[in-house]
Structure 1
Amino acid sequence: MHEPHVGAVNRFVEALATERGAPVPYVDPDSGGVGARVLMVLETPSRRGALRSGMVSVDNDDATARNLWLALRDTGTPRSLGLLWNAVPWYVGTERRNAAVTRADEGAGAEVLLRLLALLPEVRVVLPFGRPAGRCVAVVGAELAGRGIAVVASIHPSPNNYAARPHARVEVEGALVRTRGLAGG
């Protein structure tokens, strides 16, 4: 978890977990780490990611991770191009189930997002998946624009979205393709 390219971010994760008094999953060592050009932002850690694997990763054993893994594969987007994060990076559920994030959580997550970006000097694009992540990123939108960071929003790759919206997979994949182009990947 402390490989050179993710060490600084995972030390930040450890400090944040202590600060919040809640689990915050490590970032995936198969990601781009501090060299990532894309920050992909989901909503909040899954129970499995927070309490089992301890990592926010497309390798997690849940349907959202699988959908995103497939989208990366099918669009030819290398995992090393990006870093996967959560708008609310600490776990808000219980041992039995996830809980919905609140607007206050989103606001606190936006502040953390700016702190994270200070560790990611190569980020050129932020890709929020879903409405909560989009609202969190919007809070810091002016700051991102001032840093020359583009925002490409997408629907969340959850199994519920994929089941209810026939276009969901296409939208997620399209956002990844646009993001890759903007990031120079």
Structure 2
Amino acid sequence: MFLDAPRGMRDPAVRSQRLKMLGLSRIAPLREWSAGITVTTGKLLPEFDPADGGLDSHSLILHGWISTPLSEAPTGPDLLSVDNDSDTAEFMWRMREETGLQQGTAMHWRVVPWYLETPPQEPEDVSRADIRDGSAYLMELLFKLPKLETVLLCGEVPRRAWAEFIAPLTNQFTVIETVDAYAAIASPTVAAELRSAFERAARRTF
């Protein structure tokens, strides 16, 4: 992994250094695209993690929705990163480290990439309209990643999005259906399923 331990961005110096990397060539075009979504929708999106693969990604790890409001804090924008200082980020960091799905070969995205004013409590609370709108941008993203081979659908919302809005339009990617991080954190049995999916994706990156 890019750092030697999880929760690296609890250190302001590490976070500051990461933000300085946002101009990297593998990230900059994606940032420009993401900024266009904000202009179109008026909704703030997190930044891509420049330690992840960006345009060089072979795997896309797809989550459902944002559970906490995004901020435009003086310390800089929110990052969609396994190095964040949260339980979920730490879990995903350890899962990727253990399975060999390294940061330079993969990246994360959400079906609904902006914060919903009425935060869903369960996957079934995410409306079809929100999934449809997010999936339109997901389809754009898929074809901005020239090396992309594998998409991991982590949870019910990514599965719904893919089945209804993506699969009818393309079949060129290997799709691995698995569980979301919240369920995996709560159960070692479920975590084993996610680990198996990550291992499959890691094997396909070489």
- TM-score w.r.t. structure 1 length? 0.87
Whether 1:14 aligns to 2:14 is no
Q: 1:83 offset after TM fit, Å?
A: 1.2
How does 1:21-60 map onto structure 2 within 5 Å?
A: 21-47=42-68, 50-51=70-71, 53-60=77-84
Match of 2:177 among 149, 153, 177: 153
Equivalent residue letter for 1:136: A
- Flag structure 2 segments of 5+ consecutive residues without an equivalent: 1-21
The secondary structure found in structure 2 opposite 1:123 is: coil
SS at match of 1:144: coil
2:159 corresponds in structure 1 to 134
Structure showing greater radius of gyration is: 2
Paired position in structure 1 for 2:128: 103
Question: Quick check: 98-107 or 23-32, which moved more?
Answer: 98-107
Task: Name the structure 2 match of 1:176.
Answer: 198
Normalising by structure 2, report the TM-score: 0.79
Tell me, which stretches of 5 or more residues in structure 1 are unaligned? Answer: none
- Residue number in structure 1 paired with 2:112: 88
User: How much identity, in percent, do the aligned residues show?
Assistant: 26
Range with greater deviation from structure 2 (60-69 or 117-126): 60-69
Q: Name the structure where strand makes up a greater proportion of residues.
A: 2
Q: Say which SS state the counterpart of residue 5 (structure 1) adopts.
A: coil
Q: Please state how far the C-alpha of 1:161 moved relative to its aligned partner.
A: 4.4
Q: What is the count of residue pairs matched by the alignment?
A: 176
CA-to-aligned-CA distance 1:146-173 (integer Å, 9 cap, x gap): xx21100110011x5422x331211111
Task: Please list, as runs of the form range in 1=range in 2, the aligned pairs for 1:56-71 lying within 5 A after superposition.
Answer: 56-71=80-95
The corresponding residue for 1:167 is: 189
SS at match of 1:88: strand
Instruction: Tell me the C-alpha RMSD between the 2 structures.
Output: 1.8
